[in-house]
Structure 1
């Protein structure tokens, strides 16, 4: 109780100082496999949940001392600035409690503890407002270990989403455009062109999402978005993937396995695909799934492997860097997933410790100015199968926060001109 008191006091002081956590904090090296699970999905992906739906935030701690962790939840506006709601307005119950559900790994070379936080629980009984949220995980020293964004929507408007080839002739073979129709139904929207805000997300990646697009025009109760450029995404290419569900034998994408302190999985050497013809290769759009053979509970029985990535690509000497990313690392660009060039092997290489499972990933380039280029290595092809999600936010006259009132989803497998 004393720890809870100090954590609560710490949170109040942060709020009083105007602290606004708009960017997610990535976990340190000893925390792996941060995963949201809900009734509708067990894959590691961006959590977009119905208001009132329960979910679990799970993660592994690769230490043997079973440290204590605490959590707080805050409500945010559309632009990820802290909303004006106080905690009792968006939460039934309390947070700042210790995560009590954890188990130690079993029969694995890599020792770890698996933590599982369920929301709602006895202390945090419900989240009562739709919108954006950030959950923060603290250690016993009141230090933020990592944060994760999630969204809760209340289905008050209909959201129709369709995927088209780019209407810009210059990019017709390399981009995909998202058309949106929002139907307000029985809901009366005041000044929708100013008060309705949309967020368009490709493959659950918030970092490349398109924001602040206003409706072009209205027809009755419908808001129409049919832009040429503003809602167009680079089509990219299908994600690369590998599977390590069996650490005793090579599987999909794995050339061979070697056991040292822990298992080491060596992937096949890969090359760029930008100048190759497009080939359909089914993926799970950047997500990952923890899976292991001959186990009863993958949460604690799945082992960790050092996954060795190798990319045959000319050395970049202009200050650019090559990274591996996907939902497994929250599309983060960190030193851990940056490849280094081996002059002896004439290859880009990286070693990333990952739990057994099926992983989608992509090689991307970031230039010296921090600009991301997803297609430089993979290419951009209009035929690529991508997932698109559209979130609709609304702030009524006199309201103090942005509600999330609609959610729509579409896949480019049904793309049309």
Structure 2
């Protein structure tokens, strides 16, 4: 009897631990263009923010009733389990306030309201601890509308990042490897193989990040990571892109435009690139930027267009699905960006409503078992220019939360053997 009770309690504990690792809640279809911005960049970006730096979360609501939204901010550990800190330990001020800064669209076919939450503000005066955070947006019924992860770092050590071709000769033409050197300087890292954790991110995509790689060895104050397989990524290909800053005329990547209830932008049909030689084509590594010509404030004057994607690719009959994604939709793979095969046109097609701007995107395949293959359509080439970010977390012996104490960044434009 006691043994059965023990296993029952153990099962509850394991279940609770599993549910505590949170995933982001994606916004409903009437909320678009969820964007983090800082003073250093106007692009939609992965929010990795220096401690004390201000940032904005902005989004559009494609309704006419100006709904009320509220926000909360929670602190999390490295593995996205809730930390043991209470709010007063990581926040000066309070959250759970209404977002009061919003404006209605002007001179646009698609009516919307643009919301802008700045942190810090009069209520939430400062976030004072480094680490992982989740920002949750609620409606007036206290229902979660969407959530976004962001990270705040306090630079306490140096993080060197270098890009190499794969050391595994089987993948030397298709993978890139990330070498890391962490220099602790004056900071004493106790038992670093247990207390130091790393996160390696390619092109601002948290969903494909490599986690918890341990240092191979230590030389003085330096922790060295020079793995053959553990820190390697598929190199993929340069992102495809299009621009809709002028809704009355075709721009880069747009074949023609049609005005119905709103503007419709029809992109040129794309084809597979896995069987073609690599060609360098500058991109912004999956990001996007809202821009519109002849406007004073693109936040409220840029219009929305239905962007029509076409991919000339044979129909997949093994249960695999084709998606179009990028930072514009947080690399999410869901019904809104799933492409359907048109048997008459012999191509995959899909339509996404997007605000005027410049967008990077890629086509990816998810097989019947849920495995992601980013290179099946685009190919993988070691020469591809990718952005890599490395975050270093530390929890000292006896500490109650994971600090984010280092941040390094590099691009594979300088990749070497």
Q: TM-score range by the shorter chain?
A: over 0.9
1:204 aligns with 2:204: yes
SS of the aligned residue for 1:193 comes to helix
Cα distance in 2, alignment partners of residues 349 and 237 from structure 1: 21
1:133 aligns with 2:130: no
Give 2:54's aligned residue. 54
Give 1:85's aligned residue. 85
Deviation track 1:222-247 (CA, whole Å, cap 9, x = no partner) reads: 00000000000000000000000000
1:334 aligns with 2:334: yes
By how many angstroms is 1:20 displaced? 3.4
By how many angstroms is 1:353 displaced? 0.1
Give 1:252's aligned residue. 252
Give 1:124's aligned residue. 124
By how many angstroms is 1:22 displaced? 1.2
Deviation track 1:193-222 (CA, whole Å, cap 9, x = no partner) reads: 110000000000000000010000000000
Give 1:3's aligned residue. none
By how many angstroms is 1:397 displaced? 1.2
Give 2:409's aligned residue. 409
SS of the aligned residue for 2:336 comes to helix
SS of the aligned residue for 1:247 comes to coil
1:293 aligns with 2:283: no
Give 1:74's aligned residue. 74
Give 2:182's aligned residue. 182
TM-score under structure 2 normalisation?
A: 0.95
Give 2:283's aligned residue. 283
Answer whether contact 2:21 2:79 (CA < 8 A) is retained.
Answer: no
Cα distance in 1, alignment partners of residues 67 and 322 from structure 2: 34
By how many angstroms is 1:19 displaced? 7.0
Cα distance in 1, alignment partners of residues 248 and 123 from structure 2: 43
Cα distance in 1, alignment partners of residues 287 and 337 from structure 2: 16
SS of the aligned residue for 2:214 comes to coil
Structure 1 residues 1-400: aligned runs within 5 Å: 20=20, 22-400=22-400
Cα distance in 2, alignment partners of residues 182 and 250 from structure 1: 48
By how many angstroms is 1:41 displaced? 1.3
Cα distance in 1, alignment partners of residues 332 and 197 from structure 2: 25
Cα distance in 2, alignment partners of residues 195 and 396 from structure 1: 6
Cα distance in 2, alignment partners of residues 138 and 214 from structure 1: 38
Cα distance in 2, alignment partners of residues 223 and 18 from structure 1: 31
Cα distance in 2, alignment partners of residues 21 and 391 from structure 1: 19
TM-score under structure 1 normalisation?
A: 0.95
Gaps of 5+ in 2: 1-15
Deviation track 1:26-63 (CA, whole Å, cap 9, x = no partner) reads: 00000000000101111111000001100000000000
Aligned alpha-carbon RMSD (Å) = 1.2
By how many angstroms is 1:344 displaced? 1.0
Answer whether contact 2:324 2:364 (CA < 8 A) is retained.
Answer: yes
Deviation track 1:232-269 (CA, whole Å, cap 9, x = no partner) reads: 00000000000000000000000000000000000001
Answer whether contact 2:51 2:127 (CA < 8 A) is retained.
Answer: yes
Cα distance in 2, alignment partners of residues 212 and 167 from structure 1: 20
Cα distance in 1, alignment partners of residues 18 and 268 from structure 2: 49
Cα distance in 1, alignment partners of residues 297 and 355 from structure 2: 13
Deviation track 1:306-326 (CA, whole Å, cap 9, x = no partner) reads: 000000000011111000000
Give 2:12's aligned residue. none
SS of the aligned residue for 2:20 comes to coil
Deviation track 1:45-104 (CA, whole Å, cap 9, x = no partner) reads: 100000110000000000000000000000000000000000110000000000000000
Cα distance in 1, alignment partners of residues 348 and 183 from structure 2: 49
Give 1:12's aligned residue. none
Cα distance in 2, alignment partners of residues 325 and 393 from structure 1: 29
Cα distance in 2, alignment partners of residues 360 and 271 from structure 1: 16
By how many angstroms is 1:284 displaced? 0.1
